[in-house]
Amino acid sequence: MEEKQLHLGLFLMGSGHHIASWRHPDVISEQVTSFEYFAEIAKHAEMGKLDMLFLSDGLSFHELSHPAELSRFEPISLLSALAVVTHKIGLASTVTTTYNEPFHVARKFLSLDHLSGGRAGWNVVTSYYESEAKNFNKNEHLAHQDRYIRAKEFLEVVEGLWDSWEPDALIRNKESGVYFEKEKLHRIQHEGDYFSVEGPLNISRSPQGKPVIIQAGSSDAGVDLAAQSADVIFTAQDNLSDAKAFYQRVKNRAKVHGRNPEHIKIMPGVSVYVGKTHAEAVEKYEQLQQLITPEIGKNLLSEYLGGFDIGPYDVDGPLPENIPETNGNKSRRALLIKLAEEKQLTIRELYQYVAGSRGHRLVFGTPEEIADDLEMWFQEEGADGFNLMLPAFPNSLNDFVESVIPVLQDRGIYRKDYTGSTLRSHLNLPEPAYKRPILK
């Protein structure tokens, strides 16, 4: 029996995930709007046989945002360009269902999928920054629950459009002059609460059946949507106990929805610092921590607490009690409040933690120690793999690919080469059967 394999994605984030990475002396921060910069990162990740590149996105920012959010490429444009300079690695991106239309999203991802030979993935999210509403003719978001109801319908329409063409519809018979079989082209004629879409989509079926669906929420609504529809779940989990509980929760929900739980890959975010010794790895982290300005740190924490302004409070004191609920990112707010309580963190300590990984787990050590940690989470069913949120590019990626990957390979839990050419094959996911769109 073939041993189960660990999955790894690389979360691209400007000069790095640490909010002060751009200030590091080894980082050339001017490069982050250069295609060559991202091309070199992508090619190095492919050398490490990673499953996919992962791009986040947002539709607003303010003056104290993470530098990677202040000026960044539209993700489908960047991934389409990276498809030309890579050959195997998956290409996944966040696109919100709150401020887009299903036809546009379906067409963009299927175009990327064809251009890359079946390597596209869509991270389905609902917008949580309230400021995004003001860029789209609104003053405030839909309520959290309503955003997920809309997202579910949005995804249903996109997947229906992806099935507009049956796999063998395009026959292109030069002798008869028949380009396609008309009975194998379908309109979805969707009429729902949020969308009215007739179809069909003007691009043929995906080389991998359909692009991979990723979901990044950990709220009840997010988990239920993911258990129904997602191939991959990107989540923030700070400790193995909570991660195992989340893992089982999702897999059990998948069974309730009639799905094989092995067909959902759970990949928590993790920020990794590699050193020749453990002390050297910690020193790399502390060097970046010293570059955080308090104003930036407090603002970032306020964002992840759902917009609650932490500014007036003593940074060397505890979080205030009764932080109000949010219409934004509920799961991240809850995780940080829980973390502060359990570890008795001051506001300064909490914003320093968030600045390094935005609430995701931090791991320090030698290549063997890093491999031990990732393998333990994998074998203990806390994760099927990880989305690497590396602190500073390109050195953090070089360290991981050149020192940690070989250890994982030697242990037999990570591939030495790609065995397929699509993102689904990398993730060991079956190609979905064709489903003729159900007329509404």
- Residue type at position 57: D
Residue 2: predicted pLDDT: 59
Look at the block and give the residue holding tokens 């940080």.
336
The answer to whether 217 and 250 are in contact (CB under 8 A) is no
**Whether the predicted pLDDT of 112 surpasses 80:** yes
Residues 171-190: tens digit of each pLDDT: 999 999 999 999 999 999 99
**Whether the predicted pLDDT of 202 surpasses 80:** yes
Q: How far apart are CA 281 and CA 7, in angstroms?
A: 23
Q: Is the dihedral of CA 100, 103, 109, 111 positive or negative?
A: negative
Buried b / exposed e over 183-213, threshold 16 CB at 10 Å, is ebbbebebeeeebebebbbebbbbbbbbbbb
Residue 330: predicted pLDDT: 66
The two three-digit tokens of residue 338, written as one number: 């829980």
Residue 328: predicted pLDDT: 58
Calculate the average pLDDT of the chain.
Answer: 90
Residues 113-127: tens digit of each pLDDT: 999 999 999 999 887
Q: pLDDT-derived band of residue 131, with 50, 70 and 90 as boundaries?
A: confident
Of residues 400, 369, 398, 376, the one with CA closest to residue 387 = 400
